[in-house]
Amino acid sequence: MSNSEQVSSPLLRVQELRTWFHTFGGLVKAVDGVSFDLAPGEIMGLVGESGGGKSMIGFSIMGLIDPPGRIEGGRIEFDGRNLVSLSEDEMRGIRGKEIAMIFQDPMTALNPLYTIGNQIEETLALHTALSARERRAKAIEMLHRVGIPQPEQRLNHYPHQFSGGMRQRVVIAIAMIAKPRLLIADEPTTALDVTIQAQLLRLMRQQVVESGTSMILITHDLAAVSQMADTIVVLYCGRIVEKGPAEAIIARPRHPYTRGLIDSIPHETAETDGPKPRLSQIPGNVPDIRRLPPGCAFAPRCRFATEICRTTDPVLAEQPAGRSSHPHAVACHHPLAVSP
Amino acid sequence: MAAPHPLSSAPVPSRLQRFFASEFFHNYRRNLSAVLGSLIVLGFLFMVTIGPFLVSQNPYDVAQLDLMAAFKPPAWLAGGSSEFWLGTDGQGRDVLASIVYGSRISLIIGLVAMGGACLLGTTLGLIAGFYGGRLDAIIMRIADIQLSFPSVLTALFLMSAFGTGLDKVLIALISVGWVVYARTVRGSTLRETQKEYVQAARVSGLPNRKIILRHVLPNVLTPLIVVATIQVGTFVLIEASLSFLGVGVPVTQPSLGLLIKNGFDVLFSGLWWVSIFPGLFIMLLVFGINLLGDFLRDELNPRLK
Amino acid sequence: MSQPTHDPAKPLLEVRQLEQRFDVSGSFFDRLRFSGGRISAPRRIVHAVNGVSLAVKRGEVLGIVGESGCGKSTLAKTIVKLHEPTGGQILIEGEDITHHDFTRMRPVRKKLQMIFQDPYASLNPRQKVRDIIMEPFLESQSAPVPDLAERALALLAKVGLGVEHLDRYPHQFSGGQRQRIGIARALSVQPDLIIADEPVSALDVSIQAQILNLLMDLKDEFGFSYLFITHDLSVVRYISDRIGVMYLGFMVETGPTRTIFAEPKHPYTQALLAAAPQLGTKLGPASEQVRGEVPSAIDLPRGCPFRQRCPLAFARCADERPELRPVGGGQAVACHLSEPATQPAFAAI
C-alpha cells in the first residue's frame, strides 16, 4: 500500500486474518488470510456470495467469534491497537462505543422487553457521562435524525410496535449515538423492501458522512454496494479475490469471479422481441469450503483457468495502470484485460 | 453439472458404515453417561432375553420351588448359599431368578405401553395439527384435562375401575401416556404443514391421507425418540407403583414392583434382600434409560446445538 | 363485469376480480376487546388480494412484482387453490375452477404446477430425489408406470442433474441444485402453466442467473407459460413479457415489460423503479418521492390504497378508489391522474 495518497494512517488495518471453524465435518477456513486497510471516513463494501466469509470478517473485528470458531492468526489493528490480543473486558469497552454493528434482522439487536427509549438511553449511560435528562434529550434528537416521526412518543414504544424499516432506523440510531469511529453493517437492508432499502442506505450514508465514521458494508448486493462504497473488497471462499476503488471494480473488474457476478445480474438487453438472450452465468456451484480444490478456489468454475490455476494459489497483487490513486489489486493468474 | 460425479463410481457406504461415521456416533462415543446409559439398557435387554436360560430355576414353576430353602440370605452372608446369590423369598424362590423374570414383565409392559401410547398419541396429534378446527380443539382439551391429574392417580383410578391384569395395566398406561405424544406431534405438524414441501404435495394433488403419511409423519418423528425413551422409564415406575399398591399385575406374573411389595411385608424383620434387590434393579434400569434419554435430547434437539 | 373482449384463443389462465381475505381474529376470546366501557369482539380481516384480474396466454410470461405484503404470493397460492378464494373467479382454459373440490381439481393439477421460493423448505428432507421429482406424475397416473427410473433420469437431465443424484436426499445438495430439483418436480406432469413464487430470491447472484436461464430454456423447449412472482425488478424485467405491479393487494399497473420500464404511469411504479439500486450509479440525494411504509392490510385505507405515501395525492384519491383502466399500448393504470375521461372500459391484463 505504498502509493496510498493519504498521509494519515488507516483507522483499521486487517492483516492476514484467519478465522477458522473446527467442525465435525472438517476444518472450515471461513476467513483465510484476508488483509485490507480502511481509512478514516471511508466506506468499504465487502461483497461475496454465501459462504464467502464476509460476515465472519465483521464478527472477527467485533471479537464475536464463538467456538468452534477461532481467530487462528493475523492482526486486526484498530487505531493502533491489535484487537485480536485484547481481553473480552477490553473489547467490551470498544464494542458499541468505538465500533458499532448493525445486523440484517433488527430484532436481534433490540430487546423485545424494553422500550426503544430504554435501549437508546442504556447505550448512552454505558458510554457517556450524561445525566438522565440529557440522555433523554439526546435519544429524542437521535430518533429525529434517523427520520422517526414523533420521537417523543415513539421513545415509549416497544420494538414490536415498529415496522421492519422503522426498527432498522432505531438500530441505526443506537449504533450511531455513541459516535463510533467504525460502523459495520451486515446485510442491513436485505430483509427490507426496495423503497425502504433506498431510504435506509441514504440514511446510513448521511449518518457516517456527517460524523466522519468509517463504514464496512457487508452485502451480497453488488448494486447496493456500488451505490454506497468508496472501495470494494470481493471475497470468494474466505479469500480476497479483488479489491480496489468502487468505480474501477464495477466498470473494469479484473477477476473473472467479479466479472461473472456483475454479468449475472439481469440487465436491460432482455427487452427485444423474439427469443430472449440468456444471462451470462457462472457455471457450477460454490465448492464445499471444507474441501477446496488446490490452487485457485474459483478455477473449477472459471473459463480462463489453466494448469497453473489448479496447482498454485494466486497472490493478491496490485495491478498497474489504475487511473485512480487507490490501488486495484486482484488475486488471479490471468487477470482480465482492462478494455471493456 | 451433468458431468458424472467423480465419487459416483466409489462404493456407496452402507447404512451401518454411515452411522459409525456420523457426528451422532462421534458425540456418543465421547459422552460417558450416554455410553453408561446404553450399556445399562443393553444389559437389561440381554438379561430379559437370555437370562431365563442362565438362572437356576423358573420361579413360577411350583415344582422347582423348595419351601425348605425359604428366606435364605444372599450368598455372601452367613447362612447364604452359592445356589441363590441374592437369597430367596418366603416360598424358596431365588430372588435373582425372580428379578430376571420380573424385569422381563416390567420391560415388556414399559415397551408395549410406550408403543401403544406413541401410536395413539401420534395419530391424534397428526389429526389435530393437520385438520385443526373443532377436531383439534376437542382432542387438545381432552389432553389438557388428562395432564391436570397426576398420571399415577389417573392410572390408579382406571385400574380400580377396570380391575387388575396385565392388559388393564397396559390400557391404564396408554391412556395416561398418549398426551405427551399428541402435544409434541401436533406442534411439529403445525410447523411442518406451513412448509413449502407440504404445499407442493397439495399442488400435486395428493390426498390428505398421503400427505400426512408420506410427508408430515416422517418429519415429526425425531422429537418423539426422546419422549419415547424417557417414557419407558416412567412407565416402569408407574407400573411398579400400581403393583406395589396391589392394583397392578397379577401375582402369577410378578413384575419388579410386585417383587418389592412381596418383600415389603418382611422388610422390617431383617429379611431386607427380598425387597431391596428388585428396588435397586428398577432404579438402575430407569437411571440407564434417563441417561440415554438426556443424551438423545441434547443430540436431536436442534435448538441446543 | 364485462366479458373478455374479442380474444380469439382462450387464455390459459384467467383470473377475474379475485379476492382473498383471511380472518386472523382467532377465537371469540382472543377477539374480546374492552374499550370505553364497552365490550366488543371485532373481527380482524386481512385483505390480502382485492379484486385482481389477470390473464396469461399460452407461451407467455406474466411477471407480478411488488413489495412484501402486497399479496403477490397469496395471489399465486390462491390460483393453485392452496387457499379457497373468497371472491372472484379462476379459469383454466375457460374452465371455472374457483369452487372445484379435490376430485374435480385432480385433472386440472396436471396443467398447473408451482415452483417455490425456499429451496430448503420446499423439498421433503426425508424423501429421495427420485421420489420427490416423480410424485406429481405418479399421483396423476391411475396405473403403475413401468419405466419410472428412465423417466426420472430424463427429468433430472432436463434440469442439469445426473444419475448420481437420483438416490440422494435434499440435504446433500446446494441451494441452486435444490431449486433444480423443485423445477424437475414441477416439470414431471408436463404442465401448461408454471406458477413461480420468488423462485430465485433465496439464491446467490451467480446461481440466480443459472436458474433464470434454465427456466427460459425449459420454456422454449416445452412452450409453457409462467406466472412469475418476484420482488426483484431486474429479474422481472429480464424474464417477463408483461408485468403487473401490485400494491396492498391491488393491481395498480399492468402492461408490456418495455412500456412499464420506459413509461411507468402509476406513482408507485415510478417510485419502485426509482428506488431499485442501479449498478455503478451513486446513490442520489434523497428524492422524497415516497414517504413512509406500506399500511396495514387489515384496515385498508379509503380511496386509493397508495394515497398516504403518494407525493401526487389529491382530494379525490381519498374519496374514490381508482379502477384499473387501459391507457393505450396494452398498458393499464389504477390512478386518477392517468385517467382519460373517455375510457370507461374494464381492463383485464
Contact C162 B206 (CB under 8 A): no
Render pLDDT for A282-318 as a digit per residue (tens, 0 to 9).
998 888 888 888 999 999 999 999 999 999 999 998 8
Contact C272 A166 (CB under 8 A): no
Pick A270's closest partner by Cβ from C176, C238, C278: C238
Reply yes or no on whether the pLDDT at A273 is more than 60. no
DSSP code for B88: B
Cβ C56 vs Cβ C348: under 8 Å: no
What is the pLDDT, as a whole number, of residue A325?
58
Q: How far apart are CA B212 and CA B224, in angstroms?
A: 16
The domain ranges of chain B are 30-59+103-304
Pick A49's closest partner by Cβ from C204, C216, C217: C204
Render pLDDT for A110-143 as a digit per residue (tens, 0 to 9).
999 999 999 999 888 988 888 999 999 999 999 9
For B30-59+103-304, CATH gives 1.10.3720.10
* B vs C: CB pairs below 8 A: 76
Residues of chain B with pLDDT under 70: 1-13, 301-305
Beta strand A43-47 pairing with A231-236 = parallel
DSSP code for A338: S
Task: Kindly report whether the peptide bond that precedes residue A68 is cis, defined as omega within 30 degrees of 0.
Answer: yes
Contact C139 B206 (CB under 8 A): yes
What is the average pLDDT across A210-220?
A: 94
pLDDT (tens place) for every residue of chain C, 349 residues total: 444 443 456 799 999 999 999 988 777 777 777 777 777 777 888 999 999 999 999 999 999 999 888 899 999 999 999 999 999 999 999 999 999 999 999 899 999 999 999 998 999 999 999 999 999 999 988 888 888 889 999 999 999 999 999 999 999 898 999 999 999 999 999 999 999 999 998 898 889 999 999 999 999 999 999 999 999 998 999 999 999 999 999 999 999 999 999 999 999 999 888 888 888 777 766 655 677 777 888 888 889 999 988 888 888 999 999 999 999 889 999 999 987 654 444 444 5
CA distance C317 to chain B (A): 38
Task: Give the pTM.
Answer: 0.86
Dihedral, CA of residue C2, residue C7, residue C13 and residue C17, to nearest 10? -10
Render pLDDT for A12-65 as a digit per residue (tens, 0 to 9).
999 999 999 998 888 999 999 999 999 999 999 999 988 788 999 999 999 999
What is the pLDDT, as a whole number, of residue C5?
41
What is the pLDDT, as a whole number, of residue A6?
46
Find chain B residues with C-beta within 8 A of A24's C-beta: 23, 26
Find chain C residues with C-beta within 8 A of B218's C-beta: 124, 126
Cell 452359592 maps to which residue?
A: B82
For residue A100, give every residue at least 6 positions away whose Cβ sits within 8 Å of its Cβ, in sequence order, or none.
Answer: A174, A175, A176, A178, A180, A182, A183, A184
Helix count and strand count (H, E) for chain A: 12, 12
What is the pLDDT, as a whole number, of residue C338?
83
Q: How many CB atoms lie within 10 A of CB B238?
A: 26
What is the pLDDT, as a whole number, of residue A116?
92
Share the mean pLDDT of chain A.
88
Q: How far apart are CA B173 and CA B169, in angstroms?
A: 6
Find chain A residues with C-beta within 8 A of B26's C-beta: 24
Torsion angles phi and psi, residue B237, rounded to 5: -70, -45
Rounded (5°) CA angle B277-B282-B286: 150
Render pLDDT for B54-102 as a digit per residue (tens, 0 to 9).
777 777 777 777 777 777 777 777 777 777 777 777 777 888 888 888 8
Instruction: Find which of C60, C230, C283, C296 to mutate to test the A interface (most A CBs within 10 Å of its CB).
Output: C283
Q: How far apart are CA A233 and CA A329, in angstroms?
A: 9
Cβ B65 vs Cβ B91: under 8 Å: yes
Chain C contact for A224 (CB, 8 A cutoff): yes
Pick C275's closest partner by Cβ from A194, A268, A275: A194
- Please give the residue that has the higher pLDDT: either A319 or C51: C51
What is the pLDDT, as a whole number, of residue C178?
95
In one-letter notation, the amino acid at residue C65 is V
What is the pLDDT, as a whole number, of residue C335?
93
Partners for B (CB, 8 Å, 3+ pairs)? A, C
Render pLDDT for A256-266 as a digit per residue (tens, 0 to 9).
999 999 988 88
Q: Is C71 left (phi over 0), alpha (psi -120 to 50) or beta?
A: left
Contact A227 C258 (CB under 8 A): no
The domain ranges of chain A are 253-266+278-340
Reply yes or no on whether the pLDDT at A91 is more than 70. yes
Q: How many CB atoms lie within 10 A of CB C244?
A: 27
Distances (CA, A) of C134 to A208, B228, C121, C162, C237: 54, 34, 18, 15, 32
Q: How far apart are CA A189 and CA A208, in angstroms?
A: 16
Q: How far apart are CA B143 and CA B130, in angstroms?
A: 17
Share the mean pLDDT of chain B.
85
Contact B1 A25 (CB under 8 A): no
Determine whether C166 is exposed, middle or buried from the number of CB atoms within 10 Å of its CB (0-12, 13-18, 19+): middle
DSSP A223-267: HHHHHH-SEEEEEETTEEEEEEEHHHHHHS--SHHHHHHHHTS--
Closest CA to A187 of A82, A318, A45: A45
H or E element in which residue A78 lies = strand A69-78
Q: How far apart are CA A233 and CA A240, in angstroms?
A: 7
Contact B26 A24 (CB under 8 A): yes
For residue A85, give every residue at least 6 positions away whose Cβ sits within 8 Å of its Cβ, in sequence order, or none.
Answer: none
- How big, in percent rounded to 5, are the helix, strand and coil portions of chain A? 35, 20, 40
In one-letter notation, the amino acid at residue B17 is Q
What is the pLDDT, as a whole number, of residue A270?
46
What is the pLDDT, as a whole number, of residue B95?
83
Q: How many CB atoms lie within 10 A of CB C270?
A: 17
Closest CA to C181 of C222, C134, C247, C250: C134
Find chain B residues with C-beta within 8 A of A284's C-beta: 1
Q: How far apart are CA A185 and CA A46, in angstroms?
A: 10
Which residues of B, range 5-44, sit inside 8 Å of A by Cβ?
A: 23, 26
Residue A26 forms beta bridges with which residues?
Answer: A23
Q: How far apart are CA C317 and CA C335, in angstroms?
A: 8
What is the pLDDT, as a whole number, of residue C341?
52
Contact A265 C275 (CB under 8 A): no
Distances (CA, A) of C225 to A269, B204, C216, C299: 21, 18, 10, 35
Determine whether A18 is exposed, middle or buried from the number of CB atoms within 10 Å of its CB (0-12, 13-18, 19+): middle
What is the average pLDDT across A215-227?
A: 92
End-to-end CA gap in chain B: 33
Q: To the nearest whole percent, how much of chain A has pLDDT over 90? A: 57
Q: How far apart are CA A310 and CA A332, in angstroms?
A: 12
Contact A279 C217 (CB under 8 A): no
Chain A contact for B141 (CB, 8 A cutoff): no
Reply yes or no on whether the pLDDT at A232 is more than 90. yes
Taking the alpha carbons of A44, A48, A50, A56 in that order, is the dihedral positive or negative?
A: negative
Find chain A residues with C-beta within 8 A of B29's C-beta: none
Task: Give the nearest chain A residue to B26 (CA atoms).
Answer: A24
